[in-house]
Structure 1
Amino acid sequence: MPVDPRATTLTTDRLVLRPQRVQDAAVFHRLWTERDERVPAHRRLDADGHPTEAEIVDDIRQRRRGPARLGLLTVVQKESGEPIGYCGVVWDAEGDRPELAFELLRSTHNRGYATEAGGAVIGWAGDAGIARLWASVWDWNIASRRALEKLGFVETGTVIAENAHGRSLMTMREISR
């Protein structure tokens, strides 16, 4: 019987990437509060504070009941045992384009954690038979663009969205196994 990819735990020198737990909702909610003001409104807390931690808990529970495929993992610092964000694979609406996604607490930026976690996820995706990963990134998000470049992603020339918030660029990486 195949292993449910949602039950996967990945480890690196400094990190553990594990399935999301409802207890992670506080960290994920904090990520929503820390987002850059240039991020589109639907990806920031609204005026009423939504999504709330309770709504994020519900989202985590729903994903657990969803299709058994690669998804988002909670990124935990090995040394402290504290969750610092997420990294994993998200899918487009049709379910046929896997994208690398990562977001970490600001207090952990500029330490190479996104690159380290992303590398583990790329290996995980390759082991699952995924031949290509995509990643979208805002043109102004230099740190994420740099992490994606270090991970072997190249800009495709496709602009997914262009608005007052900037341009959302599509990047891609072939995975060889």
Structure 2
Amino acid sequence: MHPTLETERLLLRPFHVEDAKGMMELYADPDVIKFTADKPFNTLADAERFIAEYDQYDKYNMGRLSTFIKQTGEYIGWCGIKYLADKNEVDIGYRLLKQYRGKGYATEAARACLDYGFNKLGLNKIIGMAMQDNGPSINVFKKLGLKYSHNDDCGCHPGVVYAITKEEWK
């Protein structure tokens, strides 16, 4: 099963090749990638290849999901839970195009993903990782009920890890 989720305003579904243009725009935004270890896609074909090779859905029945405004069908970014094999943890993550930030979409989408993880997949804990200076992402964690757990290098910069358990989610 590949998860498709709906909220009041949003539709979240697995990546499709036609999402490559929106994803390329998302990863080209310096304000997005300054808080990640991600690199922009060089070509549309690179974004399409990333989508084609994305294996979280088949391996773990979860993954990042392309996110759209339900009413208009506009691509706004992605959100979802992802299994991190190197940490043996499940991480909530989100990235939104600039014009859709500050409207509550990240919180709304992430809430649906956490609910899926805890209530459909039976997960016991989900973490969120952010660079220490990424205040907007940390604020979303707090709105969702995640609590500070510990510091981490987040791949290349000083970062923080927040966490929530299934019991805390209820």
What TM-score, normalized to structure 1? 0.84
Name the counterpart of 1:71. Answer: 63
1:151 aligned to which of 112, 126, 144:
144
Quick check: 1:159–1:167 contact (8 Å CA) kept in 2? yes
Higher alpha-carbon Rg = 1
Task: Identify the residue that residue 113 of structure 1 maps to in structure 2.
Answer: 105
Pair 1:35–1:130, CA change in 2 (3 A):
farther
Q: Which moved more, 1:12-21 or 1:89-98?
A: 89-98
SS in 1 for 2:152: strand
TM-fit CA distance, 1:95: 7.1
Alignment of 1:83-162 (within 5 A): 83-94=75-86, 96-126=88-118, 127-161=120-154
Amino acid at match of 2:114: I
2:72 to 70, 80, 90: 80
Pairwise CA distance, 1:90: 1.7
Q: Give structure 2 stretches of 5+ with no counterpart.
A: none
Identify the residue that residue 56 of structure 1 maps to in structure 2: 47
Give the aligned length: 165
After superposition, the C-alpha distances for 1:17-44 in whole angstroms (9 at most, x for unaligned) are 111110101111111111327446x513
Cα deviation code 1:123-154 (max 9, x no counterpart):
10012111100111111111111111001111
Q: Secondary structure at the match of 2:28?
A: helix
Q: Percent identity?
A: 25
SS of 2:59's equivalent?
coil
Aligned position for 2:8: 13
The SS at the match of 2:54 is: helix
Whether contact under 8 Å (1:98, 1:133) holds in the other structure is yes
Could you report, residue by residue, the CA deviation over 1:100-124 in whole angstroms, capped at 9, with x for unpaired residues? Answer: 0100101000000000000000010
Gaps of 5+ in 1: none
Q: CA deviation at 1:68?
A: 4.5
TM-score by length of 2: 0.87
Q: Return the offset for 1:55.
A: 1.3
Q: What is the CA distance between 1:156 and its match in structure 2?
A: 0.9
